[in-house]
Structure 1
Amino acid sequence: MIIAFAVPGEPKGKARPRTVQIAGHASTYTPKETVMYENLVRLYYQQAARGLRLSGPIQAEIVSYSSVPKSTSKKKRALMLDIKTLCQKKPDVDNLAKIVLDSLNKIAYDDDAQVCRLLVEKRYGETPQVLVRLSELEP
C-alpha cells in the first residue's frame, strides 16, 4: 500500500520543547508553531488515506520545496528551480523528517519506529510544500 500527500506552505522543522519555570516548578511544552504544523500534516494525511493505516516495516520519502529568496537573480533562480542548486536553508533534514513522522504516530502507523527506510530531500520550488510518500515494505 502507498499513501502520498502534499502539505502546502513553507516547510517547517520540529522545534525543541521549551521549559519554563512557573512558581518554582519546571513545565515543558511544545512550541505553538510545531503543534500547528503537526496538525496540518495530520489533516492532509487523513484526507489522502481515507482511514487507511500502514502496518509492518515502512518506507518514508519526504521532499520539501522551499521558495527561492526574492533577492535571487533570474539566472540563479532558474538554476535553483532546475534542481542544479540544492536547498541548504532551514529546516534541517532531520528536523523536517521528525516533524512529519512524529505527527503521523498513531494515525498512519502505530509508531514511527516502523519506518525502516527514509529518504529526505530539500529542493527549491515555485510552490513551497512538503511531499510525503509512505509505503509498506515487504518483510
Structure 2
Amino acid sequence: MKQIVFSVPGTPVAKGRAKSSSRIDVGQNGQQRVFTRHYTPETTVKYENLVRLAAQEAMRGAEPFDRPVELTVAIYLPIPQSWSKKKQEKARTGLIGATKKPDADNVLKALKDGMNGVVYVDDARITDVLLKKRYALSPRVDVVARQLEQEAA
C-alpha cells in the first residue's frame, strides 16, 4: 500500500464559493451583450496552491495514485487569543470542540482540489475520508493519503 504524509502550514482555509462578475458590451450595431466571468476567490486559489506545493514535495516526483484512495485529514485551527488562559488550555487539550468556522467539509474541498493531479489522478478516486477538526497552538492541516489495493471501477 502506497502512502504519503504531509502538513499544510498556517491557518486552514475553506473552499470559497465561485464568484462572478458581469459587464455589458455594446456592439457596432448598438446591440448590448452581457459577458459573465466566473472565478475562484483569491484566498482559495492561494491556499490550494500551498496544498499543491506541500503535496508535490511529499510525492517526491512519484506518479499520482490511480487506485482508490483513503484520506485521513486533521484540521488544526488557531486558538482565539481573546479567550482566557484557562479556556485556551481547555481548547488545546481537546476539552473545547472547534465548532467555529471554517467548516471542516469546506476545508476538505480546498485540500482535495489542491491535491488533484498531484496525489491522485482525480479526486473521484477518494473512497474513504476520516476528518477531524481541533484547536492547536500551531494551526495547520495534517494529511495522510493511502492508495488502497483494490482495482478502480
Q: TM-score, normalised by structure 2?
A: 0.87
1:115 to 101, 126, 151: 126
Residue 14 of structure 1 aligns with which residue? Answer: 15
Which of structure 1's runs of 4+ aligned residues deviate more than 2 A? none
Which sections of structure 1, spanning at least 5 residues, go unmatched?
none
- Are 2:83 and 1:83 equivalent residues in the alignment? no
Give the counterpart letter for 1:134 in structure 2. A
Matches within 5 A, 1:37-116: 37-52=47-62, 53-116=64-127
Aligned to 1:31: 41
Tell me the CA shift for residue 86 of structure 1.
Answer: 1.5
> Which ranges of structure 2 fall in alignment gaps of 5 or more residues?
25-33
Percentage of matched positions with identical amino acids: 39
What's the TM-score, normalizing by structure 1?
0.96
Q: Alignment RMSD, CA only?
A: 1.0
- Paired residues in the alignment total 139
**CA-to-partner distance for each residue in 1:63-115, whole Å, 9 max, x for gaps?**
11111101111111111111121101111111011000111111111110100
Larger Rg computed on CA atoms:
2
What are the superposed Cα offsets for residues 38-57 of structure 1, whole Å, 9 maximum, x if unpaired?
00000011111101222211
